[in-house]
Amino acid sequence: MRITVEGLEARPPAARPEAAPALRGVGLRVEAGEQLAVIGPSGAGKTTLLHVLACALVPRAGDLRLDGADPWRLAPRALRTMRGRLFLAPQTPPLPPRQRVVTALLAARLPSMSLLASMAQLVHPTDLGAAFAALAQFDLEEKLFDRVDRLSGGERQRVGLARALLSPARLWLIDEPLSALDPARARQALGTLCDQARARGATLVATLHQVDMALAHFPRIVGLREGAIAFDLPASEVDAARLEALYAGEVAGHDASPPAPGSAHVADEDLVPAAPPVVCR
């Protein structure tokens, strides 16, 4: 799916009305099948951007086109069809805890399923093979018939990502896919997502806090800071100076005094080091 965004302004529904909009004049053009990572400090507007692209948030100003169409000018039925071609994976995987993994996975196919078929799906899941194959991509195939609440946080997150592989979507919007994964799993998960999106020709937009992972897996990197695009470059041109500028003042800006080394604050994922190491190329 092709994305064109111009002069985008948006604010999440829960934001205080007097707060500055989370996105201020964002412009972006993504070709069908392209893969890009959005990086930037916490509160930069990464999730808001994904929500606007997922038609989960109406922009306050600016122009949004998905495959040339403005989703907010579509009739309700057409908008729903459009949503069926999008897949938004929130940071916390939205899996019902009391559902089995297989049912939760196959729910990704609901947009292309009749009501009767989706009812039958609850009692007797069909296409177990596809669900198994999607899980196997994330080394979770033995969890197919387990209940979601029996999984660890990292396993849940990977099931949430495996859902994307089953959805009929042409645009994957993945929010922080690695927040609960260890480095090895994170590398594998991100590699799988990129490979599978490429194999399907689906456009992939992911927000990431792990700068090294973003640089290693994505050909194009968008740096977002304070609701505006700081840079939009091929990964090879993103250097330490740009990253330092992107994350500058992060720790000092939020707190009057920077936390002492070794204090609990440092472990917080919000506090990204001023110059993230550029490794794993």
Partner 1 sequence: MTATPPTAARAVLRDPAWSRRVAGTLLVLALCWPLLAATEFAPWRLLDPGSLRPTLAFLATFLPPAHDPEFLGLVARETWRTVAVASAGMTLALVLAVPLTLAATRALSISALTGRMAAGPLAARQALRALLVLLRSVPELVWALVFVRVTGLGATAGVLAIGLTYGGMLGKVYSEILESGETEAGTALLRNGAGRVQAFLHGLLPQNASELLSYTIYRWECAIRSSVVLGFVGAGGLGQALDSATKMFNGGEVATMLIVFVALVALADRASAWLRGAID
Among 38, 66, 101, 108, binds partner 1 (CB under 8 A): 108
Q: Smallest distance from the beta carbon of 32 to partner 1, in angstroms?
A: 18
Residue nearer to partner 1 on the CB measure, 62 or 191: 62
CA dist., res. 58 & res. 212, Å (int): 32
* Torsion-angle region of 100 (φ positive above 0: left; ψ -120 to 50: alpha; else: beta): beta
Number of H helices, E strands in the chain: 11, 9
The phi and psi torsions of 259 (rounded to 5 degrees) equal: -65, 150
CA dist., res. 89 & res. 173, Å (int): 6
Among 74, 113, 230, 233, binds partner 1 (CB under 8 A): 113
**Residue 84 interacts with partner 1 (CB under 8 A)?**
yes
DSSP state of 13: T
**Residue 179 interacts with partner 1 (CB under 8 A)?**
no
Q: Quick check: 97 and 43 in contact, CB under 8 A?
A: no
**Residue 262 interacts with partner 1 (CB under 8 A)?**
no
Residue nearer to partner 1 on the CB measure, 121 or 157: 121
Alpha-carbon distances of 273 from 205, 219, 243, 280, rounded to whole Å: 23, 23, 10, 17
Among 32, 94, 136, 234, binds partner 1 (CB under 8 A): 94
Alpha-carbon distances of 227 from 32, 78, 189, rounded to whole Å: 24, 30, 28
The phi and psi torsions of 74 (rounded to 5 degrees) equal: -80, 155
Q: Smallest distance from the beta carbon of 55 to partner 1, in angstroms?
A: 8
Q: Describe the crossing of helices 153-166 and 128-136 by its angle, rounded to 10 degrees.
A: 130
Q: Quick check: 89 and 158 in contact, CB under 8 A?
A: no
- Compute how many residues bind partner 1; rule: CB under 8 A: 40
Among 111, 191, 258, 259, binds partner 1 (CB under 8 A): 111
Q: Smallest distance from the beta carbon of 194 to partner 1, in angstroms?
A: 20
CA dist., res. 77 & res. 80, Å (int): 5
Residue nearer to partner 1 on the CB measure, 113 or 280: 113
**Residue 119 interacts with partner 1 (CB under 8 A)?**
yes
**Residue 25 interacts with partner 1 (CB under 8 A)?**
no
**Residue 68 interacts with partner 1 (CB under 8 A)?**
no
Q: Smallest distance from the beta carbon of 113 to partner 1, in angstroms?
A: 7
Residue nearer to partner 1 on the CB measure, 57 or 271: 57
Which spans of this chain sit near partner 1 (rule: CB under 8 A)?
12-14, 54-58, 76, 80-88, 90, 92, 94-99, 103-104, 107-108, 110-111, 113, 115, 118-119, 121-122, 167, 169
